A = this chain, B = another copy of it.
C-alpha cells in the first residue's frame, strides 16, 4: 500500500491571564501575524516544522524561544495531534499542539509581529489554529479542576482575590474565592505563607497571602484516598 511522506510541525498554545484594561483580567493567547502567504495577515500559533534532529519538545522550546523568554513559560506539555489530511494547503503537515502557561505577573518582551489576544475575542486565524486554541482551553479548564496546574498561571505569592480572578478568567466562569480556597486548601494544593499584603483597595485590611504547595504538575483530586497508606 502506498504511503505519502508527511511533514510534521509543532504549535504552542501559550496562555496568560492578563489585566488588559480596568475590567477583570482575561485569559489571553500568544499569536503572531503572518507577513507572507498563505493566509497573510491571519494570526498563527507560534511553532513550525520539526527538524530532523530534534524531538517535539526540543522543537517547540526552540521555536517558542523566538517569541518569548522561555524562563517565563512555567508549564509546557503535549496536548493533541491534528492530522486531517488537508488541514493546510500543499504537502501534508501533521501538527502536534502543546499547552504553555505563563504566570500573570510575567511581562515577556515580544517581537513586533507577536501579540496577546483575549481568548474570547480572537482575531482572524490561520488554518485550523482557532480550534487548536479552543481545544487547549478546554483541556486547561479540565486540568484546573483535577490538578495543581494553577501554579503556572499565578504569581509565586497571591491573595485569594487574585487567585479567584485568575481562575475565573481561565475557567471563563465566575468562581467564589471562599469555595476555591476551601477546595484547594483541603487538597493541600495551596498553603498560606503566613504573611499578608496590603490590599490594593483603599481601607481594606491586609490580605493573607498564599502560594501553591508544589510548583510541578500533579493530579490532586481526592481519589488518592483509595491508594494504600504509602
Judged by a CB distance under 8 angstroms, whether A65 is at the interface is no
Q: Which of A7, A51, A226 has the most CB of B within 10 A?
A: A226
Judged by a CB distance under 8 angstroms, whether A36 is at the interface is no
If the complex has contacts A80-B78, A223-B183, are A85 and B145 also in contact, measured as CB distance less than 8 A? no
Q: With both chains docked as a complex, state the minimum distance between the C-beta of A219 and any C-beta of chain B, in angstroms.
A: 5
Establish whether residues B183 and A50, one from each chain, have CB atoms under 8 Å apart when the complex forms.
no
Establish whether residues B85 and A171, one from each chain, have CB atoms under 8 Å apart when the complex forms.
no
Establish whether residues A145 and B223, one from each chain, have CB atoms under 8 Å apart when the complex forms.
yes
User: Nearest CB to that of A85 among chain B residues?
Assistant: B53
Establish whether residues B221 and A145, one from each chain, have CB atoms under 8 Å apart when the complex forms.
yes
B-chain residues with CB within 8 Å of residue A5 when the two chains form the complex:
5-7
Q: So how many copies of this chain end up in the complex? A: 2
Interface size grouping (class) on chain A: 35 or more
Establish whether residues A55 and B78, one from each chain, have CB atoms under 8 Å apart when the complex forms.
no
Judged by a CB distance under 8 angstroms, whether A49 is at the interface is yes
Judged by a CB distance under 8 angstroms, whether A94 is at the interface is yes
Judged by a CB distance under 8 angstroms, whether A126 is at the interface is no
Neighbour of A226 across the interface among B171, B219, B227, CB < 8 A: B171
User: Nearest CB to that of A55 among chain B residues?
Assistant: B83
* Proximity bits, A4-27, B CB within 8 Å = 1, else 0: 111110000000000000000000
* Contact residues, A174-226 vs B (CB, 8 A): 174-176, 179-180, 183, 219, 221-226
Jot down 30 A-B pairs with beta carbons below 8 A, ordered by A.
Answer: A3-B50, A3-B51, A5-B5, A6-B50, A8-B83, A8-B94, A52-B85, A53-B85, A55-B83, A56-B83, A56-B94, A78-B81, A81-B81, A83-B96, A94-B94, A142-B219, A144-B223, A145-B146, A145-B219, A145-B221, A145-B226, A171-B226, A171-B227, A173-B228, A174-B228, A179-B226, A180-B226, A183-B222, A183-B225, A221-B223
Question: A residues engaging B (CB < 8 A)?
Answer: 1-8, 49-56, 78, 80-81, 83-85, 92, 94, 96, 142, 144-146, 167, 171, 173-176, 179-180, 183, 219, 221-228
Top 10 closest A-B pairs, CB basis?
A145-B223, A4-B52, A5-B5, A146-B146, A56-B83, A55-B83, A221-B221, A146-B221, A3-B49, A175-B226
